[in-house]
Structure 1
Amino acid sequence: MKIENLKPYSGEHCETTATGTLLRQLDIDLSEPMLFGLGEGLGFIFWNMKTMDFPFIGGRVKPDLLTENIAKNLNLELTVKETASTPKAWDNVKELIDKGQVVGLKLDCFYLEYFSKPFHFAGHYAALYGYDNENAFLVDTKQQGGQVQTSLKSLALARAEKGPMSSKNLYYTLHTTNKSFDLKTAIVTAIRNNATEYINPPITNIGYKGILKTSTEIIKWFKTSKNIEHEFGTSAMLMEKAGTGGALFRNLYRDFLKESYELLKLEKLKTAHEAFVEIAALWTSVSGLFDKVSQTKDIKYIQQASDTLKIISEKEKKTMELLSTI
Structure 2
Amino acid sequence: MTSGRIILEEVAFPGGQHCETTTLGALLRHEGLDLSESMLFGLGEGLGFVYWDAKNLDFPFLGGRTKPATITRTVAARLGLTLDVRETASPRKAWQNVTEALAAGRPAGLQLPLAASLMERGGTGGSLFRALYRDFLTECATLVGDDNLREGGRRYAEIAPLWTEVAGHLTTAGETGDHIHLTRASATLTQLAALERAAMQTLAAL
Whether TM-score is above 0.5 comes out as yes
SS in structure 2 of the partner of residue 58 of structure 1? strand
| AA in 2 matched with 1:276 | Y
| AA in 1 matched with 2:103 | D
SS in structure 2 of the partner of residue 29 of structure 1? coil
State the alpha-carbon separation in 1 of the partners of residues 125 and 60 from structure 2. 12
Residue among 92, 95, 116 paired with 1:90: 95
State the alpha-carbon separation in 2 of the partners of residues 241 and 28 from structure 1. 29
| AA in 2 matched with 1:269 | L
Match of residue 160 from structure 2: 280
Q: Does 1:315 align with 2:195?
A: yes
State the alpha-carbon separation in 2 of the partners of residues 25 and 100 from structure 1. 10
Contact 1:11 1:17 in 2 (8 A): yes
Q: Does 1:267 align with 2:143?
A: no
Residue among 129, 148, 152 paired with 1:249: 129
Instruction: State the Cα distance separating 1:101 from its structure 2 match.
Output: 1.0
Match of residue 186 from structure 2: 306
Q: Which structure 2 residue ranges, 5 or more long, are not aligned?
A: 1-5
SS in structure 1 of the partner of residue 21 of structure 2? helix
Q: Which structure 1 residue ranges, 5 or more long, are not aligned?
A: 110-119, 122-234
| AA in 1 matched with 2:135 | D
| AA in 1 matched with 2:34 | D
State the alpha-carbon separation in 2 of the partners of residues 77 and 58 from structure 1. 28
Residue among 63, 73, 85 paired with 1:68: 73
Q: Which has the higher contact order (CA 8 A, sep 6+)?
A: 1
| AA in 2 matched with 1:75 | G
State the alpha-carbon separation in 2 of the partners of residues 240 and 319 from structure 1. 21
Contact 2:119 2:128 in 1 (8 A): yes
Contact 1:241 1:248 in 2 (8 A): no
Match of residue 154 from structure 1: none
SS in structure 1 of the partner of residue 163 of structure 2? helix
Instruction: State the Cα distance separating 1:240 from its structure 2 match.
Output: 1.1
Q: Does 1:105 align with 2:110?
A: yes
Match of residue 177 from structure 2: 297
Instruction: State the Cα distance separating 1:245 from its structure 2 match.
Output: 8.8
| AA in 2 matched with 1:7 | A
- Normalising by structure 1, report the TM-score: 0.59
State the alpha-carbon separation in 2 of the partners of residues 244 and 274 from structure 1. 19
Instruction: State the Cα distance separating 1:241 from its structure 2 match.
Output: 2.2
Q: Percent identity?
A: 47
Length, aligned pairs only: 201
State the alpha-carbon separation in 1 of the partners of residues 125 and 99 from structure 2. 33
Contact 1:45 1:57 in 2 (8 A): yes
- Normalising by structure 2, report the TM-score: 0.91
**CA 1:245–1:44 in structure 2 vs 1: closer, same or farther (change >3 Å)?**
farther
State the alpha-carbon separation in 2 of the partners of residues 31 and 306 from structure 1. 34
State the alpha-carbon separation in 1 of the partners of residues 52 and 69 from structure 2. 17
Contact 2:21 2:41 in 1 (8 A): yes
| AA in 1 matched with 2:22 | T
Instruction: State the Cα distance separating 1:300 from its structure 2 match.
Output: 0.7
SS in structure 1 of the partner of residue 169 of structure 2? helix
Residue among 54, 58, 63 paired with 1:58: 63
5 Å-filtered alignment, 1:2-41, equals 2-41=7-46
Instruction: State the Cα distance separating 1:6 from its structure 2 match.
Output: 1.6
The 4+ residue runs of structure 1 with deviation greater than 4 A are none
Instruction: State the Cα distance separating 1:26 from its structure 2 match.
Output: 0.9
Q: CA RMSD in A?
A: 1.7
